[in-house]
Amino acid sequence: MQSTYIYFIPGAMKLQKNIAISESGFVFNPGSGESFILNRTGKNILELLRDNKMFEEIIELMMGEYEVDRIVLEKSILDFISVLKSYGLLEKEPASAN
């Protein structure tokens, strides 16, 4: 199944090193000292990112697990990733990586 929208696929989607994710969905960033709380889907995605899964892989894995429209899933994962970025939980992309 192909997505009908063409999205910018975020290049670097690596979780910062040392980020701790607890069973109950708590996240601790030792680098900043900040804590976060996740819902179940959020925890799923964060764990997949920690395991270095690529965007397409994450989509496929999540499609297998959840009853969800692909476009809705893609949109919400992209949005989620931008939130992770703004919280400083992802590794910085190398500047002008061309």
83 binding other proteins? (CB under 8 A) = yes
Question: Scanning residues 24 to 63, which ones bind other proteins (CB under 8 A)?
Answer: 26-27, 34-42, 44-46, 62
Residue entry with tokens 């690529």: 54
DSSP, collapsed to helix, strand or coil, labels residue 65 as helix
73 binding other proteins? (CB under 8 A) = yes
7 binding other proteins? (CB under 8 A) = no
Angle at 37 between CA 29 and CA 17, to 5 degrees: 25
Query: Which range in 2-10, 12-20, 75-83, 90-98 contacts other proteins by CB under 8 A?
Result: 75-83
68 binding other proteins? (CB under 8 A) = yes
Contact predicate 25/37, CB 8 Å: yes
16 binding other proteins? (CB under 8 A) = no
Q: Pick between residue 16 and residue 36 the one whose CB is nearest to other proteins.
A: 36
* Type of residue numbered 24: S
Q: Pick between residue 12 and residue 87 the one whose CB is nearest to other proteins.
A: 87
**Rounded to whole angstroms, how far apart are CA atoms 6 and 60?**
17
**Rounded to whole angstroms, how far apart are CA atoms 31 and 96?**
25
